[in-house]
Structure 1
Amino acid sequence: MASRGDLGSWLNGGNVPPGETPGPDRLGLPSAGTGSRAPLGRRLVALCLDWAVASGISYGFFAYDAGATLAVFAVMNLLLVASVGSTIGHRLLGLRVRRLGVAGEHIVGFGRAAVRTVLLCLVIPAVVWDADGRGLHDRAAGTVIVRR
């Protein structure tokens, strides 16, 4: 009779023989290390940091208006993701946004960043994930958040 230990667990990702590394995930990204999908916790902390920066700017220039904060957040996301591939929060947590399926491509571009930003600001697409852990905003833009 097979035991749970023989089959592995969904918590540890199954059995991988000692000395071997698991292969690429379903998106073709490495399963660990640089270039692998960013974990949810890091992505959420990065989002909170970006919102805090946008709130600070909004407070300084607009006496903290919720609409102004959202606008600052959107502009920050659009410009930073389109040009350097990461927001301030992403950069601090060692993450970046990259195009999916393009080897070595680091620049997301303005069009993809715009789609991603609009859907991120609508909130609902950002909190609905697919089986690979990507939000609908990333699926629509053809992007993924990975470790740097």
Structure 2
Amino acid sequence: MTNPYAAPPVPPAKDPSFTPPSLGRRFGALVIDWVLCLLVSNFFANPLRDGWPPVLVLILEYGFFVGLFAQTPGMYVTRIRCLGWADGGRIGVARGLLRGLLLALAVPALIMDEHRRGLHDRLTGAVITDAPRR
């Protein structure tokens, strides 16, 4: 049961004590998601012959899961989530799709700031945070 008098969570942008999850957890989530994308793309294409189907599935996975649930399956396993930087809420499907597309380009993910926000995070107003288990 939640406490109706509890203070709302502080958005990451306004939390001076915000500490991002490790790069290992983020990379682990991406590896899990990539394996799932390879498995799903096997249903309609040969990912060993055609390189685009797993990438397309990854973009759609990020749009759907991050946009609606703030976590992909890989993020759930590694206990991280993707939230809005300014408000701490879900980023929505459109921004989730854009974030997935930018992540598929790989280069934006390698350009990080002090909060481990890649270019794909900054352009979509997102941040990766810890996801406590309930």
- TM-score band w.r.t. shorter chain: 0.7 to 0.9
* Of 34, 41, 46, the match for 1:63: 46
Instruction: Tell me how far apart the structure 1 counterparts of residues 24 and 120 of structure 2 sit (CA, whole Å).
Output: 17
Runs of 4+ in 1 over 2 A off after TM superposition: 26-32
Q: Which moved more, 1:56-65 or 1:46-55?
A: 56-65
Q: Which runs of 5+ in 2 are unaligned?
A: 1-9
The letter of the residue matching 1:121 is: A
Partner of 1:94 in structure 2? 79
Contact 1:31 1:37 in 2 (8 A): no
5+ residue gaps, structure 1, are 1-23
Partner SS, residue 146 of structure 1? strand
SS at match of 2:87: coil
Match of 1:109 among 78, 89, 92: 92
Cα deviation for residue 66 of structure 1 reads: 1.4
Is residue 117 of structure 2 the alignment partner of residue 131 of structure 1? no
Identity of aligned residues (%): 30
Partner residue of 2:36?
53
Q: Distance in 1 between matches of 2:46 and 2:26?
A: 28
CA distance in 2, matches of 1:29, 1:46: 24
User: Match of 1:72, as an amino acid?
Assistant: V
Cα deviation digits, residues 6-53 of structure 1 (max 9, x gap): xxxxxxxxxxxxxxxxxx9x8434747xxx422111000100110010
Give the superposition deviation at 1:126. Answer: 1.0
CA deviations 1:75-121 (Å, max 9, x no partner) are 11111111111111001111110001215x2x211232122122111
Partner of 1:83: 68
2:63/2:94 contact within 8 Å kept: no
Q: Is the 8 A contact 2:63 2:98 kept in 1?
A: no
Aligned pairs, number: 119
The residue number in structure 2 matching 1:17 is none
Structure 1 CA distance for aligned equivalents of residues 129 and 95 of structure 2: 16
* Partner secondary structure for residue 60 of structure 1: coil
Q: Which range moved further: 75-84 or 109-118?
A: 109-118
Question: Greater RCO between the two (CA within 8 Å, min separation 6)?
Answer: 2
Separation in structure 1 between the aligned mates of residue 40 and residue 16 of structure 2, nearest angstrom: 37
TM-score normalized with structure 2 length: 0.79
Question: How much is the aligned-residue C-alpha RMSD, in angstroms?
Answer: 2.0
Larger radius of gyration: 1
